[in-house]
Amino acid sequence: MESNNSSNRIGIIYGINPDTIMLADKFAGHLINNEEFCTACEELEQKVKCDECRRDLKSYSNHIYYYEQVGKNVPEFIDDPIQYLPKNIPPIDYLLVIGIHEDLLSGLPELLKDTEIKAVIVPIEDPKWVPAGLQKQVIEAFEGVGIQAAFPKPFCSLNLKEDEYNKVGFNLTHEHNYIKQFVKYFQIGKPIVSITLDNTGKAIEEVKVIRSAPCGSTYYIVQQLRGKYLENGKVGRKSLNERISSAHHAYPCNASMDQDLILKDSILHVGGYLIRNAIRKDLNLDQEEGPKLKYIIK
């Protein structure tokens, strides 16, 4: 797998909705990894100083080649999307498309067909961002121009392999080796954690993030567990799930609470299932059965 900067160049375009802007900021902030990005330790009940859990996480700031908001002052219905899409995107390998106008999204395959872009990733944190019919249409258009694409819902469901949240032909192109490269190189997507208990087996002594949610929330959440006693499925006075969910909401997760027709639940709740199961799996606890993609479009 290629691993130098020139083969992992990222561009980010995002829409005008406040949640869209916040996700773009968090994704870029997590990759840049400056000292001000995470304040998990300062917000712990014990009021401890930062223990620099992100210290070994490198900064990928020099991989971000383009960062642009699109969609200001566009008409409600756009006949010619190319007219309103950016013309100055530099040579990049990955384009992240976050919450842009539906008509602009539909124009991306045509805009990008003769570029060097290897893959386009369109995270969906709100059902209104990408309706299912449009998603299928755009996936097929990217297939037609030879660009790989993924539409993870939520962003933290993006995985190395096809699973209940990543389905070829529905939200993932048939060829997706570059999507895998993106997940592996930047270690973001579906969370993976490692938790060490003390010699009594009842206290969480150490936590480590192997793969983080793209917004960086995984670091925040596991730090809320560090130093806590774990017994009979409880962390202190709260259940493990309650403790994780509280941290997930407090970060905060900006995914929508609206019911999603594909997941049959809110996207925020699905993000919660994913991090809870990542932690429960490493602790050898039973995992929850969360919502999965439903094929309502053939």
**Pseudo-torsion of CA 29, 34, 40, 43, nearest 10°?**
-110
Determine, yes or no, domain membership for 298. no
Asked if 20 and 142 sit in the same domain, the reply is yes
Asked if 94 and 240 sit in the same domain, the reply is no
Number of domains in the chain: 2
Asked if 93 and 127 sit in the same domain, the reply is yes
Q: How far apart are CA 102 and CA 10, in angstroms?
A: 22
Q: How far apart are CA 241 and CA 234, in angstroms?
A: 8
Asked if 18 and 64 sit in the same domain, the reply is yes
Determine, yes or no, domain membership for 293. no
Asked if 133 and 169 sit in the same domain, the reply is yes
Determine, yes or no, domain membership for 245. yes
Residues with Cβ within 8 Å of residue 265, at least 6 apart in sequence: 259, 290, 291
Asked if 161 and 226 sit in the same domain, the reply is no
Nearest one of 113, 99, 67, 62 to 86, comparing CA atoms: 67
Find out whether the peptide bond into 18 is cis, omega within 30 degrees of 0.
no
Per-residue pLDDT of 110-153, as tens digits, reads 999 999 999 999 999 999 999 999 999 999 999 999 999 999 99
Nearest one of 85, 129, 127 to 296, comparing CA atoms: 127
Determine, yes or no, domain membership for 296. no
The whole domain housing 130 covers: 5-186
Cβ(144)–Cβ(121) below 8 Å: no
What is the per-residue pLDDT for 149? Answer: 99
Determine, yes or no, domain membership for 159. yes
What is the per-residue pLDDT for 298? Answer: 38
Q: Which residues in the chain land under pLDDT 70?
A: 1-6, 40-41, 43-48, 51, 289-298
Determine, yes or no, domain membership for 294. no
Q: Pick from 186, 203, 225: which residue ends a domain?
A: 186
Cβ(129)–Cβ(217) below 8 Å: no
Q: Pick from 132, 162, 186: which residue ends a domain?
A: 186
What is the per-residue pLDDT for 146? Answer: 98
Q: Pick from 170, 186, 202: which residue ends a domain?
A: 186
Asked if 74 and 218 sit in the same domain, the reply is no
Instruction: For residue 140, report the phi and psi dihedrals to the nearest 5 degrees.
Output: -65, -35
Report the amino acid identity of residue 248: H
What is the per-residue pLDDT for 44? Answer: 61
Q: How far apart are CA 158 and CA 294, in angstroms?
A: 17
Determine, yes or no, domain membership for 109. yes
Cβ(31)–Cβ(115) below 8 Å: no
Determine, yes or no, domain membership for 234. yes
Asked if 55 and 155 sit in the same domain, the reply is yes
What is the per-residue pLDDT for 288? Answer: 74
* Half-sphere CA count of 45, side-chain side, radius 13 A: 9
Asked if 168 and 277 sit in the same domain, the reply is no
Polymer length of the chain: 298
β-strand pairing of 204-211 with 230-231: unpaired
What is the per-residue pLDDT for 286? Answer: 85
Asked if 119 and 161 sit in the same domain, the reply is yes
Asked if 271 and 211 sit in the same domain, the reply is yes
Residue with tokens 């990928």: 60
Asked if 65 and 172 sit in the same domain, the reply is yes
Q: Is 0.85 surpassed by the pTM of this model?
A: yes
